[in-house]
Chains A and B, each alone.
Chain A
Amino acid sequence: MSWTRRALAVAWKDLLIEWRSKETLNALLFFSLLLLFVFQFTLGPDRERLQAVLPGVLWLGFVLAALLGLGRTFLVEREHDCWEGLLLAPGDKSAIYLGKLASALALMLTVEALVLCLFAVFFNVDIWRALPGVALVLGLGTLGLASIGTLFAAMTSQVRARELLFPVLLLPVQVPVLLGSVKSTEALLLGEPLGAVSHWLGLLVAADAIYLVAGILTFDAVLEG
């Protein structure tokens, strides 16, 4: 099987399992919905204050969902005793990394798209105008989160205290991605053009590229035994 075919096979397998069980998707969606309620309770009804913190709140929701969702990336294999199957897969392991990344990305983007709609409804935000830009930022930011998240989840699924270690490792590394995403979302929601946030977009692209290359090159060592 070619490299691309193997990556696609892993992604297809994960998405099929998720489609049939909807285990992670349902829980993540419900969790994000609850987060919106919690944010509303903590921030209070004051419109002006809400407007100022909305982009941060939105990304906080995405990050919390990502910590839960991405942390589970390799637990399917653990729970169903298929870890050896991944290890025995022939050829370069980076295909498995990209496959896992693709399925995690698809899951995260689905959740984020739905949360964005709910967010617009609950907080009465007009996102249509800024939607293309926000979608671009969402894609770039989520790719950054998922590329390192997939790499780290493969490791933390094999260690003690994995629920604790995963966020402790992932969050500080993701600071550049989070700052870039929040700042550009903020500017775009205020009606600024994409050009005004081009430096942040450049940073996001650079971060994504570095993380992807690091993940592809080091994943062999992660999945060795």
Chain B
Amino acid sequence: MRVLGWLAVLGVAVGFAAGLAWAPREATQGEVQRIMYVHVPAVWVAYLAFGVVFVASVAYLWQRGAAADRLAHAAAEAGTLFLGLNIATGAIWGKPTWGTWWTWDARITSVSIVFVMFVGYLLLRRAVDDPKRGARYAAVIGIVAALNIPLVHFSVVWWRTLHQPPSLMKAGGATMPRAIVIALLINFVGFALTGAWFIAKRWRLLRAEAEAIA
């Protein structure tokens, strides 16, 4: 646990150093582009966390282990946090680059809808008094919300699109310089470790809470 925490700190520190100092300045966007080293890993980690929510929710409904429920709860919190970070950094980047904090572009919209879905999930968790019932309800909502992510994605893409297409994961390979890709991947590892650490920490806290009540 402690090791994981230090690894996360190390990963993010190396990632920031790589992103801020080592990676070259992007030619057209300038220094602003460096916010990508937070923006992009944050959304990857968020979606990974929502994947964990889905798997843990299914596992809970199947076997009814309290551990799975805590994992889903902790992962939903971490995922929402990272997705919020992604939306906030996106807005900060959008102002100098697109000239606006916010626009109803497809990917911004779909990401914010997913964000709101999981905020609803966390709200429901707080609104149920009986912990067992809360766990069952949350598992159902978690499954529906996770299954809904692709539907949200496609519907919003068809609705409109303006965002630049993903630069790294697309057919024909990445078009970015290697140093930028490497810095991005280091940051991803750092963020993923941080996310895992958050989840582990919250998981322990939730267990301590449950034990204190019991």
Report which A residues bind B (CB closer than 8 A): 148, 151-152, 155-156, 158-161, 165, 168-169, 172-173, 175-176, 179-180, 183, 199-200, 203, 206-207, 210-211, 214, 218, 221-222, 224-225
Contact = CB atoms under 8 A, between A and B. Distances in A.
B144 A173 contact: yes
B123 A168 contact: yes
Interface string B43-63: 000000000000000000100
- 3 smallest beta-carbon distances between A and B, as pairs: A176-B155, A176-B151, A172-B116
Contacts of A221: 61, 136, 139-140
A158 B128 contact: yes
A222 B152 contact: no
Contacts, number: 87
Interface residues of B, number: 30
B127 A165 contact: yes
B148 A176 contact: yes
A57 B86 CA distance: 32
B139 A155 contact: no
Given A175-B152, A222-B136, 12 more contacts: A156-B124, A165-B120, A169-B120, A169-B124, A172-B116, A175-B113, A176-B148, A176-B152, A200-B158, A214-B143, A218-B143, A222-B137
Contact of B151 (A152, A156, A206, A224): A206
Given A211-B144, A218-B140, A172 B155 contact: no
Nearest to A222: B140
Contacts of A161: 127
A224 B136 contact: yes
B153 to A, nearest CB: 9
Nearest to B132: A225
A224 B137 CA distance: 10
A87 B56 CA distance: 26
Could you say which of B132, B139, B155, B159 has the most chain A C-beta atoms within 10 Å of its C-beta?
B155
A172 B143 CA distance: 14
